[in-house]
Structure 1
Amino acid sequence: MNTFRMYFAMALGTGAIVAAALGCSNSSAKPASDVAATSGAAVATDDSARAKEAKDAFWEAFRSMDLDAIAGARDKMIGLFNTRPKDPDLATIGGFAYVIPIQTMRYGGPPMDPSKIPAYFELAVKYTQAGVDAAPDQQSKIFATAFAGGVLYSGAMVRQDWAAAQKGREMEQLVTTHMPALGYATVTDLMNGAPRNTPDFTTSLDSLFRLYELCSGAKFDRAHPDMRPLLKRPFANPSRDCGNHYNWPHSIQGYLLNFADILVKNNQPDAARPVYEFISKTEGYDTWNPKFKHIVEERLASDLTKRAAEYGPGDPQKQPLIGGGCFACHGK
């Protein structure tokens, strides 16, 4: 695998983590950077204002699917963290923002200069780990660990560094222990690119079942899941990773698309079809970007048994993608 394709593979495993992990803070559901600010560190007023401005700019860019604006907000966040590292979320979110254009390219977005991709991943590793190291309390440390563990795992799998991959798994297990909804959502995204019939892919599928069971309070048949318990409100679990939010307005739809695709990859096309059909019944579907509605329609019009066969042995870069990428959950 050449360097360009190697980092492409890494992006496939890590890109969608942001759809879950950015939802773990306990701040209010209003449109503000407070969603990401979990540390509570004492920051000077001017620093706090600049940090808030940079994070607000990131969220607006992310919701607007504007890669140039995402890059601008990322550079502001990283610059503020490097100058006065009192807000670890600047490093965590800013670091992960390096992955977004790579993952977006994987899903048909604008191309990147291949020579920049290794450096972008190195920066993602550096700053997400800096967010862990700078976190002043357990909650913000777990938040940052979801990102850092994901980046570490994906890079290690590409390099075939099994010790580092195991460390990444352990970091994600720590997240699942302390923030189960966040952990399950992160792990299912992180590992769904693993080859079918491997322990990591099995963990990806099981984690999404566990997430839905945690959120709904219902048990799901692994062979023929009935998704209707997800329509009941309130959710059995108060975690915001269970539903849509201002900054991830279509998380429900995006994750159900992922789930159906993962079932197909698991050679369960008959179980997947009702999940694709269910997406149109969920809250928020009417305002979901037509691009992603079209993906669901294409799946339903296709031969899912044939699609399942495409996940057999062979080059994973030639296999169908899972879901619609970051913007399927975060895009307006």
Structure 2
Amino acid sequence: MRFLRWIVPAALLGLVGCNWFDADGISQSKPNAENVLASDDLGRFANDYFWEQFHAGNYDLVDSVLYYLTASYTDNPNNLETVTHLGFAHVWKLAERARLDEIPPTIIDHATLNLKYYSESYDMNPRDPRVLGFLADAQMTLGSINDDGRLQRQGWFDGQQSIRQWPEFNYFTVGYVLSAQPHTEKRFQDAVDWMWKTLDICYCEQVDRDNFDIGPYLPLEAQETDNRRLRACWNSWIAPHNLEGYYLNMGDMLVKSGDWERGLMIYELVKQIPEYERWPYQELLEQRIANAQTNVERFRQEVERGQVLDDNQVMLFNTSVACAVCHEFSEGDHTAYEDFNPLDYFREMNIYNLR
């Protein structure tokens, strides 16, 4: 029998506790967030390893990411960073399943675990509207898989609450999932409108829907003092190509709605983004520009469960790069962030909204 060898100092795995049942704590609920960023050796390794592989787009290593994060969770189930990243890692495994040669039925287990960890994260820290948005997505996704209308409705209402708390972030978070809805559904049409509303908030005025140009708004980044808008509206270490991915998805949604000429306008704007030259997915954009009118019908076709289609024939949400398009680092990104300290960034930008 072959045993998988995990590349990690054995001493770290020795830190995982074996006290699975604590009778004294049987009546206690999960505590509020404390020690937000993992500081023990195993926890720090596991969370850093998550970012290393996520930024590299190493989908083939998601299982090892889950292994270390789960080992850290077993040792300390009350660390907010670890719990939240477990939610991220499970949704990554599910979202980019089109990378697999064959999608196994067991892939849906990641939807269940995604909901579990986002629920725990939000219970520990209900002040984080990001996680409420992610939780809403998890509820709608699992509700759809399980044909559970009540869970889907709960996700919709939690999504609305998350949008009220942080619209420029969660219009996209919730709208991205709704981009998979049929183009005739009101919720899909609402999500298209949310993409425009996000731009209105980010650029502090109602943008021109007919002749939108990102160029005049790009200088706003250097002038921005609101951390929430900096995080949601621009590129960052967490998502070095947030803007490129946002506009590509927005273009897809407009094309699917039938407004392919406006979608083409949005696609073309991506090339003005300063970080575009180091974006790994320029070819995906070019294919969409070349096939915008043809893609109206392609994007409207239902993707069957377990079906894998070419990335150029499906909405971004259903591609093999549904996460990587915003989060994957190129060589140029590694150079740009060479001296960057992510832990300092998490604290300075109040990533978990704890103050």
**TM-score if structure 2 supplies the norm length?**
0.73
Matched, 1:321 2:314: yes
CA spacing shift, 1:69–1:310, aligned 2, 3 Å: closer
Which amino acid counterpart does residue 199 of structure 1 have in structure 2?
Answer: K
CA shift for structure 1 position 116: 2.4
Which amino acid counterpart does residue 76 of structure 1 have in structure 2?
Answer: Y
Separation in structure 2 between the aligned mates of residue 43 and residue 295 of structure 1, nearest angstrom: 37
Task: Select 2:190's aligned residue among 191, 197, 203.
Answer: 203
Matched, 1:53 2:45: yes
CA spacing shift, 1:83–1:93, aligned 2, 3 Å: same
For 1:134, the equivalent position in structure 2 comes to: 124
Aligned length: 284
Task: Select 1:293's aligned residue among 271, 277, 282.
Answer: 282
CA shift for structure 1 position 328: 0.6
Residues 179-190 of structure 1: pairs in structure 2 closer than 5 A: 179-190=166-177
Report the secondary structure of 1:305's partner residue: coil
Residues 185-225 of structure 1 show CA distances to partners (whole Å, capped at 9, x for unaligned) of 20121110000021211122122111111111131244554
Which amino acid counterpart does residue 56 of structure 1 have in structure 2?
Answer: D
Q: 1:225·1:271 contact (CA, 8 Å) conserved in 2?
A: no
Report the secondary structure of 1:99's partner residue: helix
Higher RCO, Cα 8 Å, sep 6+? 1
Matched, 1:307 2:308: no
Report the secondary structure of 2:265's partner residue: helix
Residues 239-263 of structure 1 show CA distances to partners (whole Å, capped at 9, x for unaligned) of 2111111121111101111011111
Indicate the RMSD between aligned Cα atoms, in angstroms: 2.5
Report the secondary structure of 2:163's partner residue: helix
Q: 1:190·1:204 contact (CA, 8 Å) conserved in 2?
A: no
Larger Rg computed on CA atoms: 2
Report the secondary structure of 1:92's partner residue: helix
For 2:327, the equivalent position in structure 1 comes to: 330
Bigger shift: 274-283 or 78-87?
78-87
Q: 2:46·2:68 contact (CA, 8 Å) conserved in 1?
A: yes
Q: 2:159·2:174 contact (CA, 8 Å) conserved in 1?
A: yes
CA spacing shift, 1:207–1:52, aligned 2, 3 Å: farther
For 1:218, the equivalent position in structure 2 comes to: 205
Matched, 1:192 2:184: no
For 1:261, the equivalent position in structure 2 comes to: 252
CA spacing shift, 1:271–1:46, aligned 2, 3 Å: closer
Q: 1:81·1:88 contact (CA, 8 Å) conserved in 2?
A: no
Residues 15-34 of structure 1 show CA distances to partners (whole Å, capped at 9, x for unaligned) of xxxxxxxxxxxxxxxxxxxx
Separation in structure 2 between the aligned mates of residue 233 and residue 279 of structure 1, nearest angstrom: 16
For 1:10, the equivalent position in structure 2 comes to: none
Separation in structure 1 between the aligned mates of residue 198 and residue 68 of structure 2, nearest angstrom: 34
Which amino acid counterpart does residue 110 of structure 1 have in structure 2?
Answer: L
For 1:64, the equivalent position in structure 2 comes to: 56
Residues 142-183 of structure 1 show CA distances to partners (whole Å, capped at 9, x for unaligned) of 332222211111121233322211100111122112222221
CA shift for structure 1 position 112: 5.4
Q: 2:215·2:272 contact (CA, 8 Å) conserved in 1?
A: no
Report the secondary structure of 1:196's partner residue: coil
CA spacing shift, 1:268–1:133, aligned 2, 3 Å: same
Q: 1:196·1:311 contact (CA, 8 Å) conserved in 2?
A: no
Residues 73-112 of structure 1: pairs in structure 2 closer than 5 A: 73-106=65-98, 109-111=99-101
The answer for unaligned runs of 5 or more in structure 2 is 1-31, 330-355
